Amino acid sequence: MMGAESAIAARGLCHRYGAREVLRNVSLDIPRGGVYCVFGPNGAGKSTLLRLLDLLETPAAGAVIIGGQAATADARAALRRRMAMAFQTPYLFRASVGANTAYALRVRGWPRRERRARVRETLERVGAAGLVREPAWLLSGGEAQLVSIARALVAQPEILFLDEPSANLDPPNAAGVEALIADYATAHTVVLVTHNLFQARRLAQRAAFLFDGELVETGAADEILNRPRDPRTAAFISGEMPG
């Protein structure tokens, strides 16, 4: 099967919003385990790529393969249960933090007692245990970010997508989230979008640079971030290209 050795494979992905083409012919393979970082300037298509890989949107053209299985219309629901995403702008339900975090477990039919135990454990892992009874709509931006990450983690998905996971966090919480990501990636696949190249260097084993909707280069993170082959990648990393 296509992409059988990969956690995720993309083949010729194209996407547009109205008349605006946001991705053009993107093909890549994301290996099982570890952190795969997608970076690039604003408007490069990074968040759109994550939404296509997480099967939240259907590409205008091309295919997504999850663990060797094509993401056909019939297979999408089952494949999505193996993945989760924390968005850059958290989308939380108008409910308590505990109820938000428990959502993925509830739709999977977990018993209430087991849900409560897993929710407490997960909120503790992200440093938000004291928020479990708080109304989600009263949280600060940083607190909402932590809860969004906890909600994505709670069912322990095989593949975890993170879009700028530390963008709203203070340095101590950002360091805690990075430690959590590194630990989670020892047994799972993490796909990370970040503008923070220092974070990419600390966490990623593989990386991809997107520019203007195109995949410019992909490979070992150390090679791309320290010895880029393409002048556009080099310009972005050196700060000569606006982020």
Q: Give the pTM.
A: 0.93
DSSP string, 116-136: HHHHHHHHHHTT-GGGTTSBG
pLDDT of residue 242: 59
pLDDT over 70 (residue 103): yes
Closest by CA position to 86, among listed 143, 147, 41, 38: 147
pLDDT over 50 (residue 3): no
Confidence bin at 132 (pLDDT 50/70/90): very high
pLDDT over 50 (residue 1): no
205-231 pLDDT, tens digit each: 999 999 999 999 999 999 999 999 999
Q: How far apart are CA 184 and CA 54, in angstroms?
A: 18
> What architecture (CATH level 2) is domain 6-238?
3-Layer(aba) Sandwich (3.40)
Contacts of 106 (CB under 8 A, 6+ apart): 115
Q: Which helix (DSSP H) or strand (DSSP E) does residue 146 occupy?
A: helix 141-153
Contacts of 192 (CB under 8 A, 6+ apart): 35, 36, 37, 38, 162, 165, 181, 199, 200, 203, 204
Average pLDDT of the segment spanning 45-55: 96
76-102 pLDDT, tens digit each: 999 999 999 999 888 899 999 999 999
Strands 69-70 and 83-86, bridge-based pairing: unpaired
171-200 pLDDT, tens digit each: 999 999 999 999 999 999 999 999 889 999
